[in-house]
Amino acid sequence: MHEVSRKVLQDSDIMASLANGCIQFTRHAGDVLLNFNRLRSRNILTDVTIQIDGQRFCAHRTVLVACSGLFYSIFTDPLKSNLSAISLDPKVDPDGFAILLDFMYTSTLTLKDSLVLVTMN
């Protein structure tokens, strides 16, 4: 096994030392989300389509489950875990859902004044 110097690790990632010789790579989680979002934008390995009022949103079930209680309850149900398409209630605003879906993948919530209420509903 190759030993990697602390200097090399520091140059490659902002990190925080933890007890017991563990190292936490503080950018790792953000980098994972960034890569999932890149995959989603290119429709690579997306495994579910969310349909709302005629609009379709491709996503990764794992991201949806990790970020949403609704999707967690759907995809952890043995009868629904293999669904590749889901239709949400037409009362859900597609623009508001798009903002929340982007948030799941970026940790950034972009709200326009006109969409605050529909996004929060």
Q: Is the CB of residue 30 less than 8 Å from the CB of residue 38?
A: no
pLDDT at 88: 95
Q: What is the mean pLDDT of residues 26-51?
A: 96
- 107-119 pLDDT, tens digit per residue, is 998 877 666 665 5
Q: Is the CB of residue 115 less than 8 Å from the CB of residue 99?
A: yes
pLDDT at 7: 53
pLDDT at 13: 57
pLDDT at 1: 45
* Whether pTM exceeds 0.85: no
CATH of domain 6-120: 3.30.710.10
- The structure tokens listed for 118 are 């529909």
Residue 58 CA: distances (Å) to CA of 6, 22, 87, 97: 40, 37, 12, 12
Domain boundaries, the chain: 6-120
Strands 48-52 and 85-87 turn out to be parallel
Phi-psi sector, 45: left (phi>0), alpha (psi -120 to 50), beta? left
- The structure tokens listed for 24 are 């936490």
